[in-house]
Amino acid sequence: MTSTAQSALQWQAAETTAKRITETWNKPGEPGGAITLFDSKTLRGHACGGLSNLTTAEPFSVDAVVRYASVTKHIFATLALLRSDAGLSLSDTLGQYLPQLKAPMAQVTIGQALDMTGGLPDVRETLSLLGVSVYNVSEAGAIMDFLAQDGALNFPAGTEISYSNTGYRLVEEILKQKGILFEDLLQKHIAQPLDIAFHAPETWFDIVPGLVPGYWQDATGWKTAVAGLHLSASGSVTGSVRSLSVWLQSLLSNTGPGAGVLKTLTEPRYLYGDIPSAYGLGTTSSRIGEHTVYGHGGSHAGYKTYFLLHPELDVGVALVSNREDTTAYTHALEVMSALLAAPLPPRSNALPDGLYASTAEPYWLKVSKGTASYLGSADNLYQGEDAGEAVTLSAHMPMRLRWDGKAIQGKIGHAPRYFTPVEPNDCLKMVQGRWYHPESKAAFDIEGDQLKMGVGTLRTCGQLTSLGAGRLLVELPDGPWKKNFCLYFQGYSVRLVSNRSRVLNFHRDECRSSWQPAK
């Protein structure tokens, strides 16, 4: 890095921005987080706020251990591809190593599984659509059996990009079948050489030294977060923001455990048709003014993380938090923007607020106050090439959209999309009763304008909203979140569609259905 570039970095402004963010967490009895600023050699600044533990009232520090969640992905990709001696090639198919998988899932390449273009349905979201709560325990073996039942994909591999944790789970399973464990690789190649406390627990309930609780808030106050799904290498690593920063410094310096890592992980990836993607292998590429930065975020129940690196300028930002409401990506961008003295694009309100749906497809878009929610996953909108274009800065859910006076059109996930304002219809009276998924024995009932799912005290109830053309939008509570998905009716079957899972088909249970109009 040149001395001119070094002198142009605004370390004080970045630390002030970080402290402004963490100060908002300094409220009595609230959780918090920490942000670090660093180059390859030195921790240049940090900011902390809130509490690491609401029971003991211990303040959050740079040494508080959290769940990194999907920040794990770049660490796993590093170890699986560069350090495992497993002989994996990005062009190998999953089926070469996991013969239990069915086509077309078996034909997805390892590269597509790791770069979010594989169309692999996300396990957590698929189970959620079957009525399995975030709290329910699911073991690794049972999940693999579940994935082997049906080889369906959300979309043909390579045709669009959409976030899914399943590819990382499957590649981890490939290593396991070779006798290679993620935790062993993590300790041997990263934690021990760098003398940092990284761990990769298999479940939420494994003991992790120093781990602070994650929290989410409802109308009655803060709650301790918990999740039952087997963690997998898509999001299992734990550590502090100090430990994360040490690892990221080795990436910036391109030495020791970090040697060759950024070059491999950030190598350009492409969809079919040579369409470039900003998502690499567990890393994303973002633009801040004239600068290109690389990073990734993570989100577990009650935990939020993000890091951004500018290898050319030898600088980085890392954020960890133990509160569900943290907007980690936005905060990381703000701090990096201040450091680079490069303003973010202005927020966009080019798309009118409202609910939109595509024609003869189960896709919908909700726009509200400069935020777009596509298939239930929301992202901030920023001004694109001109004031009439709205874009996201997200690599795993890129949007580039315009309002033409009658419709919203453009691309989402690099796939063409066209949305018109929803024209509700009265299909409810035709779909009353029970709908059944024979493979999993799951079912839900439509009673009036409500969808009811689950058994006994676990039964939940969600509101139905018409999207027109035989489609109903569902909103159901699920622990700290609300899940949104579409019911797409086609005769005696209905497909359940959300951003990360679009493969489940339920069928009418004639013994428990009623064709009477909704009351």
Query: Is the pLDDT confidence value at 518 over 50?
Result: no
Q: Which helix (H) or strand (E) holds 174?
A: helix 166-177
Task: Look up the CATH number of the domain holding residue 286.
Answer: 3.40.710.10
236 and 172 share one domain: no
Query: Is the pLDDT confidence value at 332 over 80?
Result: yes
Query: Is the pLDDT confidence value at 3 over 60?
Result: no
Write down which residue in 153, 179, 205 finishes a domain. Answer: 179
Question: pLDDT value at position 509?
Answer: 81
Query: Is the pLDDT confidence value at 1 over 70?
Result: no
Side chain identity at 241, as an amino acid letter?
Answer: V
311 and 376 share one domain: no
- pLDDT bucket at 271, cuts 50 / 70 / 90: very high
Q: Is 167 in contact with 121 (CB distance < 8 Å)?
A: no
40 and 26 share one domain: yes
Question: pLDDT value at position 512?
Answer: 54
User: CA 71 to CA 306: how far, in whole Å?
Assistant: 7
Question: pLDDT value at position 517?
Answer: 39
Taking residue 370's Cβ as centre, other Cβ atoms within 10 Å add up to: 16
Question: pLDDT value at position 473?
Answer: 97
309 and 381 share one domain: no
CA 5 to chain centre: 33
Quote the mean pLDDT of the chain: 95
Write down which residue in 118, 146, 179 finishes a domain. Answer: 179
- In DSSP terms, which residues pair with 132 in a beta bridge? none
Query: Could you tell me the sign of the dihedral formed by the alpha carbons of 405, 408, 409, 411, in that order?
Result: positive
38 and 187 share one domain: yes
Task: Write out pLDDT tens, residues 159-209.
Answer: 999 999 999 999 999 999 999 999 999 999 999 999 999 999 999 999 999
199 and 331 share one domain: yes
Task: Write out pLDDT tens, residues 230-257.
Answer: 999 999 999 999 999 999 999 999 999 9
Domain assignment of residue 227, yes or no: yes
Region 48-68 average pLDDT? 98
Q: Which of 177, 117, 179, 94 is nearest to 141 (CA)?
A: 177
Domain assignment of residue 78, yes or no: no
- In DSSP terms, which residues pair with 444 in a beta bridge? 435, 453
Question: pLDDT value at position 514?
Answer: 45
Domain assignment of residue 349, yes or no: no
Region 287-314 average pLDDT? 97
Q: What percent of the chain has pLDDT over 90?
A: 93
Sequence-distant (≥ 6) Cβ neighbours of residue 222 within 8 angstroms: 29, 30, 31, 54, 215, 216
Task: Look up the CATH number of the domain holding residue 498.
Answer: 2.40.128.210
Entry pTM: 0.96
Question: pLDDT value at position 90?
Answer: 98
Tally: H helices and E strands in the chain: 13, 31
Task: Write out pLDDT tens, residues 382-410.
Answer: 999 999 999 999 999 999 999 999 999 99
Three-state DSSP class for residue 428: helix
Task: Write out pLDDT tens, residues 478-501.
Answer: 889 889 999 999 989 999 999 999
221 and 325 share one domain: yes
265 and 287 share one domain: yes
326 and 467 share one domain: no
334 and 363 share one domain: no
Domain assignment of residue 118, yes or no: yes
Domain assignment of residue 257, yes or no: yes
Task: Write out pLDDT tens, residues 112-169.
Answer: 999 999 999 999 999 999 999 999 999 999 999 999 999 999 999 999 999 999 999 9
271 and 292 share one domain: yes
Domain assignment of residue 35, yes or no: yes
53 and 111 share one domain: no
Domain assignment of residue 192, yes or no: yes
Q: Residue 410 is part of which domain span?
A: 354-420
- pLDDT bucket at 516, cuts 50 / 70 / 90: very low
Write down which residue in 308, 341, 374 finishes a domain. Answer: 341
Overall number of domains in the chain: 4
What single DSSP character describes residue 397?
S
Domain assignment of residue 163, yes or no: yes
